[in-house]
Structure 1
Amino acid sequence: MEHPVTAEPWRALIDAIDYSVQFDRELTEAVVERITRALLREPLLDLTEAEEYQAITEALRSGSALTEPGTQAHGEREFRDFLRRLLRGMDAARPWPEPPFRTLGEARWTGFVAPVPLLRVHMDHVRTQDRLHRVFRRVDDGGRRLILLILRLRSGDEVALVTPWWPGSDDVAVLRRDRRRRPADDAVEEFLTATGIRPDEVAVLSEDTANG
């Protein structure tokens, strides 16, 4: 069923939550804990925890149906009760943990002026986004079509994961927005720790080797 996104800005998140529990026969406390943990550790749809909380609150306050009768695994009343329990679970987890990174919009790409790659990730963007649980976006960069994902790390460093970068390769290049911010070794260590990508899955680059 198509929903008017502009009229119901919370709809995409609610649909994503509904999809996440479609194979759970009962919405038990274990399911509440699982989805609460996902909302806080791997925020859906590039939303912050506060935005997720607000979206669920607005959905419950709305007069709109949150499930589609006859096609969903759980009824409207059951699903609304589940959402209320999710809010209680999120409240109980306050203060919410600071995630290792947050996703930024594609518009931030314009700030990466003449970037030099920090890392070469020996994976294509599909494998990389599966590892990060974040979705790459397609952009037109002056006639060059790129697929990219921009992250802000806890330190404040912003990095862009971009492909294609090297001719004939699907490897993902990792670029820093401000190379003067701190030593490259520190940025590399934080990126690997935050994403869970292993050191043996990347090549650390320098200005001399970045375009080789």
Structure 2
Amino acid sequence: MGTDSWKGHLNGVLYGIQFDRVLDDSVVTRVVNGVTAGHYPGDRAATRDALDQALRSSGPLNDQAETHHSEDELRSFFRRLAAALSTPSPS
């Protein structure tokens, strides 16, 4: 997955969380449910791959879709989101 591809995935997530004041576990759950339901680009595996690549990047994660969240807040949120997407979805 190239840089443009993972940024597209992250931008979709950033768009979905832009108005959340706090990126807590309820937001993680909402985004996981949204990914599972097809409300975000890509399935669970593609989104997790995009998050993993983004987290390895040294550049800013919200340079294309700005939010009021700090880089540290976003990285923490994306790590928790990646971990949640790694957990098999309940059947």
Please tell me the TM-score bracket, short chain as reference: 0.7 to 0.9
Structure with greater strand share of residues = 1
| Structure number with bigger Rg | 1
Structure with greater helix share of residues = 2
Q: Which runs of 4+ in 1 moved over 6 A?
A: none
How far off is 1:43 after superposition?
A: 5.0
Q: Deviations over 1:32-66 (max 9, x none)?
A: 11111111222522x23211111111111112210
Question: What is the alpha-carbon distance in structure 2 between the residues aligned to residue 7 and residue 90 of structure 1?
Answer: 20
Q: How many residue pairs get matched?
A: 88
Q: 7, 10, 19: which one pairs with 1:11?
A: 7
Unaligned runs of 5+ in 2: none
Question: What is the alpha-carbon distance in structure 1 between the residues aligned to residue 13 and residue 26 of structure 2?
Answer: 15
Distance 1:54 1:26, change over 3 A: same
Distance 1:72 1:43, change over 3 A: closer
Residue 66 in structure 1 maps to residue 66 in structure 2: no
Greater relative contact order (Cα < 8 A, sep 6+): 2
TM-score when scaled to structure 1? Answer: 0.38
Pairwise mapping of residues 1-212 of structure 1 onto structure 2 (< 5 A)?
Answer: 7-45=3-41, 47-68=42-63, 71-92=66-87, 94=88, 96=89
RMSD: 1.9
Q: Deviations over 1:113-153 (max 9, x none)?
A: xxxxxxxxxxxxxxxxxxxxxxxxxxxxxxxxxxxxxxxxx
